[in-house]
Each structure stands twice: as C-alpha cells, then as structure tokens.
Amino acid sequence: AVVATEEEEEDDGTNAMCWPAGIHFSKYLYTHAHTHLQSRFFSEKKKKNQKKIKVIELGSGQGIAALGFLTGLKNAVSSSSLSDAGDDGSTTVVEMVMTDVPNAIPLLQHNWNYNKPTIITSSFSSGTYHIQVNIQSLLWGGTTKNDK
C-alpha cells in the first residue's frame, strides 16, 4: 500500500483544480435550490424551529460547491415564499465551514472574498438571515503516526 505523507497530500495539486463534479453540483444547486432547499430548510414546521443551518465541506478546493450552495440558498431565500421566514422576529444563522489542506487555504480564502459581495447581499444577510463563513485548514483521510 502506498501512503502519502502530509507534505505529499498538500502538494498534489488537486485542491487547485476546479473539479467537474463541483461545477455540476454547483449548477444543480443554483437551478434546483428553490425546490430542494425550501423543503429541507424552510418548510412551515422547520421555519418555526430552525435557528441554525450548519454545513461543512471537506476538501473544498477552490470552494465551488460551497459557493454554489450559498448562492442557491440565497436564491431560495429571495423567493417570495421564503422571504418571510423571519416574520416571527427570529434570525436563522447559516454557518458554512469550508475546509482543505493548509496550502489550499489562501486560494479558498481569495475565492470567498471575491464572491462574498454577490452572495451576501442586503436581501440575504438581513435581520432574518445571518451568514457566517469559516475557512479552516483540515487534513482528513489517510493515516496518522498513531495508526498502527
């Protein structure tokens, strides 16, 4: 079995690719967000109880899937049926955590900073919805020195 070291894992370049699956997933969320996200997060029952939506992405790379999710969520919220989700005075917090290997973080942070103004608009980050995006280094998968 071939086991990559942490340095090799960080330097294989996969985090700098825009993976086709991420592009297709992002397009899917953008196109079908209203239907799927509305039923998942904003049904009448959930609107009364939902105070926090937590999403973590392992191996975010350039962040295309996470950005697609947030854009789809923004579009779902902007629709007329979801814009009144906080009529009871509540605020729903959307917490997105994007993770990848340490050397991927600068590009991921850059992509978030570049896209943030189009995602977090006044209609999406109002008193009803508050968006928190955290970008963190995380090595996952593989083995550690303690695994024997």
Number of domains in the chain: 1
Sheet of strand 52-57, all strands in order from the earlier edge strand to the far edge: 52-57, 92-100, 129-137
pLDDT of res. 139: 86
Q: The pTM is what?
A: 0.74
50 in a domain, yes or no?
A: yes
85 in a domain, yes or no?
A: no
| Residue range(s) defining the domain that contains residue 49 | 19-78+91-137
74 in a domain, yes or no?
A: yes
Instruction: Tell me the per-residue pLDDT of 31-75, one tens digit each, with 9 for 90 and over.
Output: 776 677 666 666 655 556 567 888 999 999 999 999 988 888 877
13 in a domain, yes or no?
A: no
Instruction: Tell me the per-residue pLDDT of 1-19, one tens digit each, with 9 for 90 and over.
Output: 434 455 555 566 777 778 8
* Strands 92-100 and 129-137, sheet pairing: parallel
Q: Are 75 and 35 in contact (CB under 8 A)?
A: no
Instruction: Tell me the per-residue pLDDT of 89-136, one tens digit each, with 9 for 90 and over.
Output: 667 788 999 999 999 999 999 999 999 998 887 556 555 778 899 999
